[in-house]
Structure 1
Amino acid sequence: MTKPKPPKLFLLDVEGTIAPLSLVYEQLFPYARAHFQTFLQLHCADPGVANDLTMLAEECAGETDETAPRFTTPEYWDEAIPYLNWLMDRDRKSTALKSLQGRIWKGGFERDELQGTLFDDVPKALERWSTAAHVAIYSSGSVAAQLLLFRHSNYGDLTQLISGYFDTRTGPKTSSASYESIASAMACEPREIMFFSDAVRELDPAREAGCHTRLVMREGNAPVEDSHGHRRIKSFNVL
């Protein structure tokens, strides 16, 4: 039997894959909620923040859920907060929300009020993989937030080990076209990618695009009854 070729790109999800879910739901999300008011009051006129608020209002205008708070006028930044919290309550993959969260987290990381907690096997795996291939991150969190996580991790600055970062601007993680776009951006074929995630709904479209997949089973993750044929791993030490 011919031994399969090693991947040219190790593509990694964040939550439940390289970082515990508690990082997001017990640290990052509460921090963003607590700072929306002050941050928007101070920075609503900044061009980048104003653009996020405009995008958020456009998203709200297209909202089909009648329970959503209304936010239609970007200049009235205080009206954005109920909608932002509503989106977070539902873990919506809103590009505008993710961008605003990343801006708020930036201050938290730089003031050492936040730290990117990674699983113990992650740094060595990144070192090992990056010597012979590329490593990239694909997360619902913004690219800016991803950079903060790895620059301010509990193992120091690991950004030199990562070649690419992708977020919802690439496309949803539930679309096979997103993985084809990442392959193109990283100058490889989908079949040369190994994608790691804790979510079968993300692994299925990656496999459909031609990627190899691994279902990551970390402590604290929700149990998975049907892996849909994706190989399960509990640690990166096996690769």
Structure 2
Amino acid sequence: MSLSYDVDAVVLDIEGTTSATGFVVDVLYPYSRSRFGALLSQRGGDPDVQRAVAQVREELGDPHADAAAVEKALNSWLDEDRKATPLKTLQGIIWSEGFARGDLVSHFYDDVVPRLRAWHAAGLRLYVYSSGSVAAQRAWFTNSPEGDLTSLVSGLYDTENAGPKQEPESYRRIAEATGVAPSRLLFLSDRPGELDAARAAGWHAVGIRRPGEPYYEQGVGDHAQAGTFDEITVSRSTA
């Protein structure tokens, strides 16, 4: 069954939607875990690292937590798959460098890139909203198996510049930043709480259900659902 939407822009989640969560968990998480210590000790003076470390200390309630305590907290959050902004910031730095070095190449489901190219060619704007940092998102789209895809994307949003993904206010913030009316935005995600928040902000929302993904069995609540991007028809009326 095909789902059809007349919108101006599509906003994409990454894990479980455009790309396999397993790749993130099995490849990217261990890569960052093995490099947190070196990043904290060697790059502690970098503004982005400093800001993230300050946020970790704030979360811990310990303004004097040393690098070992910060690293321990990061690893603990990684074990919990907690969407903590400072964790995502530091992972993003590490992953960006890994992609740049050629250590890492991102993953996209086979149906995704052809569909993104078709939507972009049809005049639709594409945005990303992921719990992964903007830096990680940029590296992800720059270093895909099909080359640099960043020209397809008009903007990147994360929990730092937009807010938590299960809060309607975050989606209102993105609509305002993009200049696209909420009713002209379509959000694609595998997580029902995120779809609920997007809908509460006046967006269209479709749940992506891919076998093997963590949220597949749970389903997407009462939202429209698709197994692949090929089941979604998106057009932009010129009226």
Give the alignment of 1:173-188 within 5 angstroms: 173-188=165-180
In the aligned structure 2, how far is the partner of 1:159 from the partner of 1:91? Answer: 27
Q: Contact 2:209/2:219 (CA < 8 Å) preserved in 1?
A: no
Q: Partner of 2:153 in structure 1?
A: 162
Q: Contact 2:190/2:220 (CA < 8 Å) preserved in 1?
A: no
CA shift for structure 1 position 212: 0.8
* TM-score, scaled relative to structure 2: 0.90
What SS class does the counterpart of residue 218 from structure 1 fall into?
coil
In the aligned structure 2, how far is the partner of 1:198 from the partner of 1:86? Answer: 24
Write out per-residue CA displacement over residues 41-88 of structure 1, whole angstroms, 9 at most, x where no aligned residue. 211122221121112111221xxxxxxxxx5425x2222111001111
Give the alignment of 1:1-239 within 5 angstroms: 6-61=6-61, 72-73=63-64, 76-131=66-121, 132-169=123-160, 170-222=162-214, 223-225=216-218, 227-238=220-231, 239=233
Q: Contact 1:116/1:153 (CA < 8 Å) preserved in 2?
A: yes
Write out per-residue CA displacement over residues 212-231 of structure 1, whole angstroms, 9 at most, x where no aligned residue. 11110113213344533211
Aligned Cα RMSD in Å?
1.4
Report sequence identity in percent. 37
Is there any run of 5+ residues in structure 2 with no aligned partner, and where?
234-239
* TM-score, scaled relative to structure 1: 0.90
What SS class does the counterpart of residue 94 from structure 2 fall into?
helix
Q: Contact 1:21/1:220 (CA < 8 Å) preserved in 2?
A: no
In the aligned structure 1, how far is the partner of 2:205 from the partner of 2:73? Answer: 35
Q: Partner of 2:236 in structure 1?
A: none
Q: Contact 1:137/1:164 (CA < 8 Å) preserved in 2?
A: yes
Change (3 A) 1:117 1:225: closer
**For residue 166 of structure 1, what is the amino acid of its counterpart?**
Y
Change (3 A) 1:28 1:229: same
What SS class does the counterpart of residue 83 from structure 1 fall into?
helix
Runs of 4+ aligned structure 1 residues displaced above 4 Å come to none
Is there any run of 5+ residues in structure 1 with no aligned partner, and where?
62-70
Q: Contact 2:21/2:213 (CA < 8 Å) preserved in 1?
A: yes
Q: How many residues are treated as equivalent by the alignment?
A: 226
